[in-house]
Amino acid sequence: MSASRTDEILDVAEASIRKGGFDAVSFRDIAAAIGIKSASVHYHFPHKSDLGRAVVSRYGERLFAALGAPDAPGAAPRKRIKRLTQAYRDALAPEGDACLCAVLGAMTQGLPEPVSKEISAFYDRLLGWTKTALKGGKSTMTPEMIVSSLIGAMILAVERGQPKLLADAEKAILAAVAD
Amino acid sequence: MSASRTDEILDVAEASIRKGGFDAVSFRDIAAAIGIKSASVHYHFPHKSDLGRAVVSRYGERLFAALGAPDAPGAAPRKRIKRLTQAYRDALAPEGDACLCAVLGAMTQGLPEPVSKEISAFYDRLLGWTKTALKGGKSTMTPEMIVSSLIGAMILAVERGQPKLLADAEKAILAAVAD
DNA sequence: TGTGCTGTACCTATCACTAGATAGTGAATG
DNA sequence: CATTCACTATCTAGTGATAGGTACAGCACA
């Protein structure tokens, strides 16, 4: 009912990617997980690259919806950046899997071009958001440093099994940003 | 001549992993790259997990050899940490591929257990080295923060095609460490 | 009647992995 | 000295499993 078939497929695909990378996704496994056949998955996403692109795209849409406008009036830079760090902590939360784009960003080289382009667009947008969000305040960290420290913290937090590492990164980032 | 067959295999495997993750490695491709047959690769590394473990293990040995003792007399903490950041920059240098353990760290969940154990041991050792290296000095960054910022910077540097991002991380780390 | 979605059945390619034969080497043995 | 033995490293040939992807039929609903 609730979720469309397309969304069901994307849900399973996203979870698989976050657990084991792009190659961990298989049409058969996705189909089995939601109770259809692999040919039906191909109907919605003819090629695997279509599926990958869609997963990344939806992930981005959701993230930026959660972040809100980076230049929303009334929100100070520190508060905006806090929304960003919070989003990363939320991404880690439920299963202890790494954020989608941390995983895919780590191995863009080996992905189908449509997917790596989509990842690239995601980071274009994320860095742009962060840059705008910092405007009007003072930061000792560049947008790139903020984002990369979140990526690294997430990866190490997952590997070590220590969510605290991501919280530490958040603290360091917020300490570097003043309104 | 120089390199043993085992090393030749590990060279190709490491390059493949760094480009496309663990699943990008195939016995056939490795064999073809060095002019033998896949069955011969299996002779040296019966299972893929053996190969993965060996790649990570050799990578670690080389890195720690380059880092030297973390408590070598006469070397100040700042200088020691600089060796660490330099090692990461060297790892990025030749091909623009990400560091092996950044890639594998990003997706430990989907790896054969022997490989993920080896990755875990690598980070145990790396964090231990960094902790010891910081002794006697003052740092506003924990060992975990130093390592995770290098991981994140390397991943974003590769994705963006901007090696400078890793240099920026180095600067920030060195600024946080005082003798 | 057409459109949207799912099914069955199948394709070819690739995967990790194995059995067993072959050739070369070096040391021990007659 | 010649032979045998054990070992190393490679090959050919093949296994069964799984991958992405396709052709086409059926079915429900408008």
**Per-residue pLDDT tens over the stretch A73-87:** 878 999 999 999 999
Give the Cα separation of B175 and B149 in Å (integer): 13
Residue among A151, A156, A162 whose CB faces B156 most closely = A151
Spell out the alpha helix ranges (H) of chain B: 5-20, 27-34, 38-44, 48-67, 77-92, 100-105, 113-134, 143-160, 164-176
Q: Is the pLDDT of residue A1 over 70?
A: no
Between vectors from CA A131 to CA A127 and to CA A136, what angle results, nearest 5°? 165
Q: Confirm if B139 and A143 have CB atoms less than 8 A apart.
A: no
> Residue B44 — pLDDT band, cuts 50, 70, 90?
very high
Q: Distance from CA of residue A98 to its chain's centroid?
A: 9
What's the whole-model pTM score? 0.93
Q: Distance from CA of residue A173 to its chain's centroid?
A: 18
Q: Is the pLDDT of residue B95 over 80?
A: no
Chain B residue whose CA is closest to A119:
B159
Token duo for residue B132: 């010891």
Q: Is the pLDDT of residue B14 over 90?
A: yes
| Contact assignment for B147 to A159 by CB distance below 8 Å | no
Token duo for residue B69: 């003792």
Give SS3 for B138.
Answer: strand
Average pLDDT over residues A148-164: 95
Q: What is the pLDDT of residue B97?
A: 79
Average pLDDT over residues A58-66: 95
Minimal CA separation from A21 to chain B, in Å: 7
Token duo for residue B43: 């002779």
β-sheet bridge partners, residue B178: B138
Q: Which nucleotide is nearest to B44 (CA to C1')?
A: D9
Closest by CA position to A91, among listed A100, A83, A79: A100
